[in-house]
Amino acid sequence: MRERLRTAVLASLVIASLVFAVVALRPERALAEDPVTEPRLISVSGEATVAVKPDLVTISFGVETNAATAKEAQQTNTSKMNNVVAALKAAGIRSEDIQTSNFSLYPVYGWEGDRPGGTQVLTGYRCNNTVTARVKSVTSTGTVIDAAINAGATNVGSLNFGLQDPDPAKNEALAMAVANARSKAEVMAKAAGVTITGIYKISDGYATVTRMEAAPYALKDAATPIESGTVTVTATVRMDFTF
């Protein structure tokens, strides 16, 4: 009886050892049978630039007034700015394309006796009001500027040329950037003696519009000449090609 029990125990130990051995060997065999192969890639960046004629120009018009009292400076400024806004509307700018971008009212101090180093005295008040107008007819930009100046604008800010709808130009630039990336990859593959077999990954591309800015114009009696030039749309994309 004892001999049978001993034999059964020994048999159980042998079976357990075999099971543990099989389990321990399985991962290694699976790894050997199914190795992970890294894809062979050529990674490149594609870039493209598109020059587009602008159909939008943003201009800021300011009115500055000085008076002995804050109320007088503000009231005079309001009257003049109302005239400027009315002139902009008469020139074809819609109300929704005119927006106040700055307003300030503050005291102005000077030196007693007009010499620095003495006692500061209040000399009056200064009021500044600025509106920004979106001109959607670029060819009429000079006319709009002249109308605002004639109505009382005392300064004209920088002109920014852009696009009302930049998406078509952005899409064109992105497509060109993809083509540029493929061209680069094919050149590299040919030089390496391999052949492109497909696209492994395309990273999110992006496109930006670089608005051309013109310098502020001096106030003139003659019509203001404006040349719009072009704006630049730039796109970049990252691509991985298999070979």
Indicate the DSSP class of residue 11.
Answer: H
Does 167 share its domain with 49?
yes
190 and 201: one domain? Answer: yes
Residues 151 and 237 in one domain: no
At 120-146, the pLDDT tens digits run: 899 999 999 999 999 999 999 999 999
Instruction: Please tell me whether residues 64 and 153 are part of one structural domain.
Output: yes
Residues 17 and 77 reside in one and the same domain: no
Mean of pLDDT values over 33-37 = 62
> If you average pLDDT over every residue of the chain, what do you get?
84
Query: Structure tokens of 169?
Result: 């130009």
The predicted structure's pLDDT at residue 222: 44
> Whole domain around residue 11: which residue ranges?
1-36
Q: Are residues 158 and 232 in the same domain?
A: no
CA–chain centroid gap for 95, Å, is 26
| Per-residue model confidence as pLDDT tens digits over 152-195 | 999 998 789 999 999 999 999 999 999 999 999 999 999 999 99
Instruction: Please name the residue that has the structure tokens 């492109």.
Output: 196
- Among 107, 61, 115, 67, smallest CA distance to 86 is for 61
pLDDT digits (tens, 9 = 90+) for 50-93: 999 999 999 999 999 999 999 999 999 999 999 999 999 999 99
Residues 117 and 71 in one domain: yes
CATH number of the domain that residue 169 is part of: 3.30.110.170
Residues whose CB falls within 8 Å of the CB of residue 223, separated by 6 or more in sequence, listed in order: 142, 143, 146
Whether 116 and 134 share a structural domain: yes
Same-domain pairing of 153 and 227: no
CATH of the domain at 89: 3.30.70.2970
Q: Give the pLDDT of residue 101.
A: 94
Contacts of 178 (CB under 8 A, 6+ apart): 46, 202, 205, 237, 239
The pLDDT, as a whole number, for residue 31 is: 43
How many structural domains compose the chain?
3
* Per-residue pLDDT at 153: 97
**3-class SS at 172?**
helix
